[in-house]
Amino acid sequence: MYFSIIIVIFALLLIFILGACRKRRAVQKVCSMTCIEKCELLNSLIAPFGYCYDETQDIISSRNDAWQREAGYTALFDRAAPYFNMVFDDLPVYFPYQGRTWLIEFWKGQYGINTGAEIGVYYADGLLTEKELSSAHFRAVENQDMLPLSFCLRKGKEPIASVSKKTWWLTAFCMGMFSKPEQLCMDASIFFPDCGMLHSFLEALHQTNFSQEHIRVCGGELRLSFEGKCGGTYCWFQRLIRAWAMLWNRIFCRIYLCITRYFCSTIDRLLYLYYLLPFAFRRMLKPRRYCRCKHFMKG
């Protein structure tokens, strides 16, 4: 019995020593790299997941050629999101334009261990009825139909990220930050190609009961402030699922910050995690959102 206890103690001691050595090597690898080398490596690692790193703001954003473009959008994604630790307020705006039903949707909230926001531009193959919207599949717009989008994400009065480009999907994620969706404000801007599209979108936006005080129009540009609890209402079960997901998000945030406590920037934290726990790095970026929802739809 005493021999068994000695073996267990020795094994634990060996694990501790090996872990300490692995941590030291991971720290040394990150510290020995230049800023350019870090950016190149991180972008090469996260590009297959549809993302890129913005070193000027220390945030993760999306690429125009992201795999999510082929997935498109369906309302099931939003309904299933809390089951995958994504808790956000969403503002979908469906409107007709040039013989199609378009969708421009805004999201802000907590995506696992990330505080973030998104704007997506999609359309259906034809005009849809109101009953069809909740089950219809929308595809991301083609290159010629992408819109100039921008938004500034704030938590209270503190700015988190500001992004802008012509795209079908504009995102910004601050890794390791925990926020409740209602704490966030998204000041968004969209440039429309003509007045017809702008007016159609504006009319549909009014029908969502979005406050007109938070809307500004100047020429072909529309600005809106998506803040507070502007999203949908939830039943008691949905509120329970969201609360449960947020509890785990807070725990995972603290675990992430604790493990990567040797560094302050996102790029250093992620590369350290890549060298120390590569499976955890991949798990954080694994595209579960569409794959599992697609499985549910087929079922």
DSSP characters over 205-260: HHHTT--GGGEEEETTEEEEEEESS-S----HHHHHHHHHHHHHHHHHHHHHHHHT
Classify each residue of 47-73 as buried b or exposed e, where b means 16 or more C-beta atoms within 10 Å of its C-beta.
Answer: eebbbbbbbebbbbbbbbebebbebbb
For residue 131 the two structure tokens come to 């009953």
Summarised one tens digit per residue, pLDDT across range 146-190 is 999 999 999 988 999 999 999 999 999 999 999 999 999 999 999
Output the pLDDT for position 232.
Answer: 58
Q: How far apart are CA 92 and CA 105, in angstroms?
A: 4
The residue behind tokens 């990330």 is 114
Domain boundaries, the chain: 1-32, 35-299
Q: Which residues pair with 225 in a beta bridge?
A: 187
Judged by DSSP in three states, 204 sits in helix
| For residue 246, pLDDT beyond 90 | yes
The answer to whether 114 touches 257, Cβ cutoff 8 Å, is: no
Give Cβ neighbours of residue 247 (< 8 Å, ≥ 6 apart): none
Confidence of residue 229 (pLDDT cuts 50, 70, 90): low
Beta strands (DSSP E) in the chain are 51-54, 59-62, 86-97, 100-111, 114-123, 139-140, 147-155, 158-167, 169-175, 184-191, 215-218, 221-227
The answer to whether 214 touches 71, Cβ cutoff 8 Å, is: no
Summarised one tens digit per residue, pLDDT across range 194-207 is 999 999 999 999 99
The candidate with the shortest Cα–Cα distance to 68, out of 88, 54, 84, 51, is 51
The answer to whether 222 touches 189, Cβ cutoff 8 Å, is: yes
| For residue 12, pLDDT beyond 60 | no
Give Cβ neighbours of residue 255 (< 8 Å, ≥ 6 apart): none
The answer to whether 110 touches 125, Cβ cutoff 8 Å, is: no
**For the ranges 18-22, 70-74, 92-96, the one whose mean pLDDT is highest:** 92-96
| For residue 89, pLDDT beyond 90 | yes
| For residue 299, pLDDT beyond 70 | no
Mean pLDDT, to the nearest integer, of 19-31? Answer: 81
Output the pLDDT for position 26.
Answer: 87
State the pTM of this model.
Answer: 0.88
Output the pLDDT for position 7.
Answer: 47
